[in-house]
Structure 1
């Protein structure tokens, strides 16, 4: 994994016309997908009044702020101001745009120009979960390389991508080996919950 890329969501969790908040290097990001399936990651603030764009809505190939309806196109430039429908918005009205891509069923974001592509990982996207403390990967029987942990839960091979959050929190994006049965996937999901409880219990 290059230092520039951060895994922020499973691709299946962001449908077309969907928008969701994520965090990259303590930066609040609005992650959204257009009607055509195009993926975008922007600073999560409308340039007008600072409202979170992740509260907004997607129309076609644009994202609109829920507050006053200002609409922004693929490059982050403001396309339309409803209160002034005849005004061509100045080029200066623009949302900071980050790099975003999908790889191995995972969405990755880089605030700066990335050095190469994200790491290639194998498996079927299972789930994402937030953990309030760092996991002791060795005690859990996982090997750790950078932000990628690999091991087994309930006899199923599992790859976990770590997304750091502020205040020592993490989002874990889990993929299970593609041959696992639905019942095995359920057991893996329960194993992930146990992992979270153990990590958070260590704080008590």
Structure 2
């Protein structure tokens, strides 16, 4: 399965602290999302070239990420710079990890495999963002959006009426409820697994604390709804298999 063109969200910016890493999937392939100690985000193939260990199991040291298995260290360009078993070795330049273009926008970390010459700008919002949460569900991305569309929502800032859900890009949606706006990053994990990353489009002065709690309550209800949807889908698939 190859990564579709365009930019894909892989995490909320606030969920990856400097000096940490996390594993994820895009279209069935494994990726590591990590920040060096200066705060720069990176998205790579989640595999050490030495023995195939996931780099997301490893650790960050300054601007290097190290494999847990034998400690091989890679710089921010993906090139191996240090092998503990051979500390004086000048590591061959051919030992590298595939790295992917990375950007931060809309309160999320994004990646793409598009060549630089063909690369469009990542999706953009109108200003500051405040994180809510991320979830994974055993369903397609279309089911995620349908669940959002059907989820009752009350605004935190009630200076207007209405409910509107509209695409900004193929992998980013904007949900407007009253005076609030949520940015929804949609990540295709695999054939029938998806992730949703939710951030409030607004300032911390307005939303930090009580505003986050308000929208996290909505998020919990959405997660419950998605669980019911995917459970029903699994039961339906099982019933069809029995009928055959």
1:181: Cα distance to partner? 6.2
Q: Structure 1 residues 142 and 3, CA, compared in 2 at 3 Å: closer, same or farther?
A: farther
1:164 lines up with 2:223 in the alignment: no
- Say which of 165, 168, 186 aligns to 2:213: 186
Offset of residue 152 of structure 1: 4.6
Question: Does structure 1 retain, via aligned residues, the 8 Å contact 2:106–2:183?
Answer: no
Equivalences for 1:48-197 in 2 at 5 Å? Answer: 48-113=50-115, 115-122=119-126, 123-133=129-139, 134-135=143-144, 136=146, 137-140=148-151, 142-145=164-167, 146-152=170-176, 156-178=180-202, 179-180=206-207, 182-197=209-224
Q: Which runs of 4+ in 1 moved over 6 A?
A: none
RMSD: 2.2
Asked whether the 8 Å contact 2:5–2:114 carries over to 1, the reply is no
TM-fit CA distance, 1:154? 8.6
SS of corresponding position for 2:135 = strand
Q: Distance in 2 between matches of 1:55 and 1:29?
A: 12
Name structure 2 gaps, 5 residues minimum: 152-162, 233-244
Which segments of 5 or more consecutive residues in structure 1 lack a partner in the other structure? none
TM-score scaled by length of structure 1: 0.88
Indicate the structure (1 or 2) with the bigger Cα radius of gyration: 2
In the alignment, what sits opposite 2:27?
A: 25
Q: What is the aligned length?
A: 203
